[in-house]
Structure formats: structure tokens, C-alpha cells
């Protein structure tokens, strides 16, 4: 089973600033990594797939990078609606599909 480790667990950033979230895999994923945003009481929303491709309708301030075992989600200028929990997911080798434990992005 591929393990995903996200860091930090909680990130405090001011609106308008940049946020950088990390996801590390226990083995190489090539580019088979996705990022999701989840707000309280809502289902996860796909933001990024194939490590760096924005899903339909996702603002350009969200960008993904990385390959192999190290991945990053960057939000270039935080808006109020961006404060949420972010999960990474690998789909290179399944079962099982695995998720990181999440990073909570909160207002500083």
C-alpha cells in the first residue's frame, strides 16, 4: 500500500498571501497524484489531477507541481473561500486508492 504524508498538518496564512502544501509518497507515483479541497459539511472537490492539471472551473491561483514522490499544491493569493482542508490522493497503484491525512489551511 502506498502511503501519503502531508505537511504541515495545519497551516496559518493571511488572506492575499501564498500557501504551499506538501504531499510525500512512500513510492514513486510518476504524476498520478490529485489534490482535493474540502469545506465543512461538503464533499471533497477535485482541484488538481495528474500532479499539475487544474480541474474544470478551478481558479488559476491553484497550481500543482512535482513528480515521483514529492508533490506541492500552491495557492498564489489566498482568498477567503480557500480556507479549508486539502487532501492529496494517489491513483498510480490501487487497490487501495490512498489519501493523505489532510492539511487544514486556516486564516492567520
Partner 1 sequence: QVQLVQSGPEVKKPGASVKISCKTSGYTFSNFYIHWVRQAPGRGLEWLGAITPKGATTTYAQTLQGRLTITTDTSTSTVYMDLSSLTSDDTAVYYCARESAPFDFWGQGTLVIVSS
- Rounded Cα–Cα distance for residues 1 and 73 (Å): 23
Binding flag, residue 103, partner 1 (CB under 8 A):
no
Please report whether residue 93 would count as binding partner 1 according to CB under 8 A: no
Interface with partner 1 (CB under 8 A), residue from 100, 105, 106, 108: 100
Residues 13, 24, 46, 93: which binds partner 1 (CB under 8 A)?
46
Residue partners of 57: CB distance under 8 A and separation at least 6: none
Binding flag, residue 37, partner 1 (CB under 8 A): no
Window contacting partner 1 (CB under 8 A); options: 18-26, 59-67, 68-76, 89-97: 89-97
Burial 69-93 (b: 16+ CB within 10 A, else e): bebbbebeebeeebbbbbbbbbeee
d(CA 30, CA 93): 11
Q: What is the nearest approach in angstroms of partner 1 to the Cβ of residue 64?
A: 12
| Nearest CA among 8, 37, 5 for reference residue 20 | 8
Q: Does 101 bind partner 1 (CB under 8 A)?
A: yes
Residues that bind partner 1 (CB under 8 A): 32, 34, 36, 43-46, 49-50, 55, 87, 89, 91, 94-102
Amino acid at each position: 500500500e502506498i502511503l501519503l504524508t502531508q505537511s504541515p498538518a495545519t497551516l496559518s496564512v493571511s488572506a492575499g498571501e501564498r500557501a504551499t502544501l506538501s504531499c510525500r509518497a512512500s513510492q514513486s507515483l510518476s504524476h498520478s497524484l490529485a489534490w482535493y479541497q474540502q469545506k465543512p459539511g461538503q464533499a471533497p472537490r477535485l482541484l488538481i489531477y495528474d500532479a499539475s492539471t487544474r480541474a474544470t472551473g478551478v481558479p488559476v491561483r491553484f497550481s500543482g507541481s512535482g513528480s515521483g514522490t514529492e508533490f506541492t499544491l500552491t495557492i498564489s493569493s489566498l482568498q477567503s473561500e480557500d480556507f479549508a482542508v486539502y487532501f492529496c490522493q494517489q491513483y498510480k497503484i490501487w487497490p487501495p486508492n490512498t489519501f493523505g491525512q489532510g492539511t487544514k489551511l486556516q486564516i492567520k
